[in-house]
């Protein structure tokens, strides 16, 4: 988290994350080019140039698959959150690997074309009306264009400039890119592949992405379904949160209001406060984080907000809406009507017995 727009602010965790990524990519490319050919069919040798383009292409596909798995894995198990924290670095490196694949393709198949190679790439196959024989190259170009846009706009400058909802909507196009990559592989390489290994990997990877998202969606749907438990004839009725001990110290309990909004009810010290569960940075699940230095800290990227007023600590200026809370007969309730962003709300003070 930075108050200034600098190209990259590396700390130890970011450096370690990037080093591990680069080593993993380098190791995969090495094994693909040096070790895998030992088990190849020498009756049908593969040109080294083709081997290189397949190495980088398959690596980019596997990286993109893993990127799309990180989100639901982090929702299902918080131990995966460290992978989510710097996922944008993962995405930028994936774009670089995909670009290497594209360069090898152009240099091998179109370098000696009588027309410019980019023009030849676009005009070499225009059978868009077919399934078998469909110009899968166009799908690869489309997916790569999306990856470039996502990589270029990955910095927080664009997040702030475009606003989080717009930025998030743009970056959700990674799913469109992934679908195009899967189709690119299915209509291209897999049509002529003799070895079923990568077909199994490609299908397995795509199914894994779908299954993990369905599992995470089911979990989130179960939370949203609790809104029916608080629906009342009077929309101003307060929402029951539970007894204070149900909220772990320096943690939050997420409740859903009758209109479907999620509220993070935070226990900080011997006080209870409530604020929006939507982080102002990337709309992350603020309530799934914990209180650090007196601020509820988003588990996605570490952005912090004071529980009592929803304001980020100085010098940051981000704010989120707050909610009124009350304690009646040993039960915490929250007003479903949000206050304007940054509004101070007096926390509920717990007695020693209630806090324990």
266 and 126 both lie in a single domain: no
What is the pLDDT averaged over residues 93-109?
A: 92
Asked if residue 230 belongs to a domain, the reply is no
21 and 139 both lie in a single domain: yes
The CATH number of the domain holding residue 341 is 2.102.10.10
Asked if residue 282 belongs to a domain, the reply is yes
Q: Is the peptide bond before 315 cis (omega within 30 degrees of 0)?
A: yes
Minimal CA–CA distance to 86: which of 192, 193, 1, 194? 1
87 and 189 both lie in a single domain: yes
What is the pLDDT of the chain when averaged over all its residues?
86
| Tokens coding 243 | 């007894």
Structural contact between residues 266 and 322, judged by C-beta atoms closer than 8 angstroms = no
Residue 79 pLDDT level (bands cut at 50, 70, 90): confident
309 and 219 both lie in a single domain: no
Asked if residue 1 belongs to a domain, the reply is no
**pTM (predicted TM-score):** 0.77
Residue 176 belongs to what domain range?
12-224
* Rounded Cα–Cα distance for residues 187 and 290 (Å): 46
Residue 352 pLDDT level (bands cut at 50, 70, 90): low
User: Which of 168, 200, 224 delimits the end of a domain?
Assistant: 224
User: Which of 161, 189, 224 delimits the end of a domain?
Assistant: 224
Asked if residue 2 belongs to a domain, the reply is no
- pLDDT for 231 equals 45
54 and 16 both lie in a single domain: yes
> What's the Cα-to-Cα distance from 137 to each of 22, 92, 94, 120, 143, rounded to whole Å?
27, 22, 18, 11, 10
Asked if residue 304 belongs to a domain, the reply is yes
Asked if residue 217 belongs to a domain, the reply is yes
Number of domains within the chain: 2
- Does the pLDDT of residue 225 top 80, yes or no? no
- pLDDT for 42 equals 53
- pLDDT for 102 equals 93
81 and 202 both lie in a single domain: yes
250 and 350 both lie in a single domain: yes
219 and 244 both lie in a single domain: no
User: Which of 194, 224, 254 delimits the end of a domain?
Assistant: 224
Structural contact between residues 64 and 150, judged by C-beta atoms closer than 8 angstroms = no
- Does the pLDDT of residue 310 top 90, yes or no? yes
What is the pLDDT averaged over residues 318-325?
A: 95
- Does the pLDDT of residue 5 top 60, yes or no? no
**For the stretch 192-221, what's the b/e string if a residue is b when 16 or more beta carbons lie within 10 angstroms of its beta carbon?**
eeeeeebeeebeebbeebeebbeebeeeee
């Amino acid at each position: 988290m930075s108050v200034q727009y600098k190209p990259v602010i590396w700390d130890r965790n970011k450096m370690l994350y990037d080093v591990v990524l680069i080593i993993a990519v380098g190791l995969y490319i090495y094994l693909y080019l040096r070790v895998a050919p030992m088990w190849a069919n020498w009756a049908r040798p593969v040109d080294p140039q083709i081997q290189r383009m397949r190495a980088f292409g398959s690596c980019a596909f596997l990286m993109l698959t893993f990127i799309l798995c990180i989100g639901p894995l982090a929702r299902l198990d918080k131990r995966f959150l460290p992978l989510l924290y710097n996922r944008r670095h993962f995405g930028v490196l994936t774009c670089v690997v995909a670009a290497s694949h594209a360069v090898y393709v152009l240099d091998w198949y179109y370098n000696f074309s009588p027309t410019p190679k980019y023009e030849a790439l676009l005009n070499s196959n225009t059978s868009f009306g077919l399934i078998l024989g469909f110009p899968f190259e166009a799908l690869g170009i489309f997916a790569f264009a999306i990856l470039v846009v996502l990589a270029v706009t990955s910095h927080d400058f664009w997040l702030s400039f475009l606003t989080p909802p717009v930025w998030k909507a743009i970056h959700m196009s990674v799913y469109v890119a992934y679908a195009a990559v899967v189709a690119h592989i299915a209509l291209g390489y897999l049509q002529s592949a003799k070895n079923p290994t990568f077909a199994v990997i490609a299908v397995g990877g795509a199914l894994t992405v779908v299954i993990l998202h369905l599992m995470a969606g089911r979990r989130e749907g179960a939370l949203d379904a609790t809104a029916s438990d608080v629906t009342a004839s009077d929309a101003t009725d307060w929402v029951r949160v539970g007894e204070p001990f149900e909220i772990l110290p320096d943690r939050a309990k997420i409740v859903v209001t009758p209109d479907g909004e999620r509220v993070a009810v935070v226990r900080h010290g011997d006080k209870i406060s409530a604020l929006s569960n939507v982080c102002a940075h990337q709309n992350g699940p603020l309530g799934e984080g914990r209180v650090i230095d007196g601020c509820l800290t988003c588990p996605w990227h570490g952005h912090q907000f004071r529980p009592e007023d929803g304001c980020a600590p100085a010098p940051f200026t981000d704010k989120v809406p707050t909610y009124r809370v009350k304690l009646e007969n040993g039960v915490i309730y929250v007003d479903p009507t949000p206050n304007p962003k940054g509004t101070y709300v007096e926390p509920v003070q717990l007695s020693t017995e209630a806090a324990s």
